[in-house]
Amino acid sequence: MKNLLILALLVLNLGTSAQKKDSRLWRKAQNLHQRIITIDTHNDTPILLLKDGFDIGEQHNASECQVDFPKMDEGSLDVSFFGVFTGQKPRTKANYRHAFLHANTMIDSIHAMVVSHPDFAQLAYSPENISNIQLAGKHVICIGMENGFPIAKELSRIEGFYNRGVRYITLCHSFHNDICDSSSDLTPPEHGGVSEFGQMVIHEMNRLGMMVDVSHLSDDSFFDVMNMSQAPVIASHSCARAVANHDRNMSDEMIKKLAENGGVIQMCLLDDYIKEPDTSTERYAAESRLMKIYRTKYSKMSDQEKEVFEADWRNMKKLPKKLPTVADMVDHIDHIVQLVGVDYVGIGSDFDGGGGLADCNDVSQFPNITYELLKRDYKPKDIRKIWGGNFLRVWREVEKVSGKLDAH
């Protein structure tokens, strides 16, 4: 009964919020949103593509899927980066092989998805591809890789992934790997930043024209990347630590360095990155306990133990939690714009991987972000930059650096 009451109040609040929209400004936001190129640089929807019977061409509830083709239509999302995610396991030959095969299976599923929906979407391998696909009246799918673990210690795999369409790699995830130290690993730093092998990985990505993604990296790893990369880098789904103090967010010093590098930080719509949580709730206590287990024990669990953990995680997600709003997220954009300017920020939702706000819980609600930006007097040319222009600039520069390196 208590949960039903909370749900009813949330629905009422959402309805009230929608009613408060200025109708003239909302029409302007919808019109602008449809005219500009909109890019979301990170979602975890490929996890769902591996499920039997899942069809991304069908409309789903946001609780089941936050990115499907009907929602992309409704939210006028032009370009979506589908993340090839592999979790971390002990670094054994068997686990390296499994991660490599799993990553390729996910890439296979993305290729199969566009083949089975040829009228709706097409894969893009470059910024120029995006323009051509849009002219054909289709949505654009790009591929990113979250976690460099599938590379193992074989540098040649990077070019193999590039040839299959991967255009950025998030160097690590929640644990240290062979490339660099993670921001989230509870064990002491392993490399003190980026390893010697990691430096070779970065140089190879620069050579190929593959974007280096610094989301999930430790601070020391981040600054090492800044010193090693010859091309601008991206943070595909991170926010500002000065606004929400989370180890996954970037400090002002990091954001300034990213801007000096010519890179871009893409706003993640995951609640704890947007607003510091209420630590007094039952949900916070349960989530904190399970996150500690995940960070310290999950990779060593048996399959049966993982099933128990995942059931506990699903039950935890049923506990009520007050989500931040689009306005809270735009506070991060404001901070970054005031710190380094409007040329270094974009959007990377992390939908289907934890992202979701009270008034933007799937891609169909993306126009709410454009509305909030207009409400705060952002000019259309700057909103165009935030929604994709900045990211495309970085991607083109990464390709340009690649051309120069190949020339040598």
3-state secondary structure of 357: strand
Q: What are phi and psi of 175, to 5 degrees?
A: -135, 155
Contact status, residue 138 vs residue 113, Cβ threshold 8 Å = no
CB-based contacts of 274, cutoff 8 Å, min separation 6: 239, 243, 244, 268, 324, 328, 329, 332, 357
Q: For residue 46, give the amino acid letter.
A: P
Query: What DSSP state is assigned to residue 300?
Result: G
3-state secondary structure of 347: strand
3-state secondary structure of 168: strand
What element of type H or E holds 41?
strand 39-43
Contact status, residue 210 vs residue 195, Cβ threshold 8 Å = no
**Upper half-sphere CA count for residue 335 (Cβ side, 13 Å):** 22
pTM: 0.91
Give the model's pLDDT for residue 408.
60
Bin 152: left if φ > 0, else alpha if -120 < ψ < 50, else beta.
left
CB-based contacts of 300, cutoff 8 Å, min separation 6: 90
Contact status, residue 263 vs residue 231, Cβ threshold 8 Å = no
Instruction: Give the count of beta carbons closer than 10 Å to the beta carbon of residue 397.
Output: 16
CA distance 81 to 54: 19
Q: How far is CA 267 from CA 81, 325, 332, 368, 388, in A?
A: 14, 13, 8, 14, 12
Give the model's pLDDT for residue 22.
95
10-residue block means of pLDDT along the chain (408 residues)?
33 44 96 97 97 95 95 98 94 96 98 97 97 94 98 97 98 97 95 98 98 98 98 98 97 98 98 90 87 81 86 82 95 98 98 96 98 98 98 98 82
| 3-class SS shares of the chain: helix, strand, coil, % to 5 | 50, 15, 35
Instruction: Give the count of beta carbons closer than 10 Å to the beta carbon of residue 207.
Output: 19
Give the model's pLDDT for residue 301.
84
∠ Cα 207 401 175 (to 5°)? 55
User: What is the chain's length?
Assistant: 408
What element of type H or E holds 23?
helix 23-35
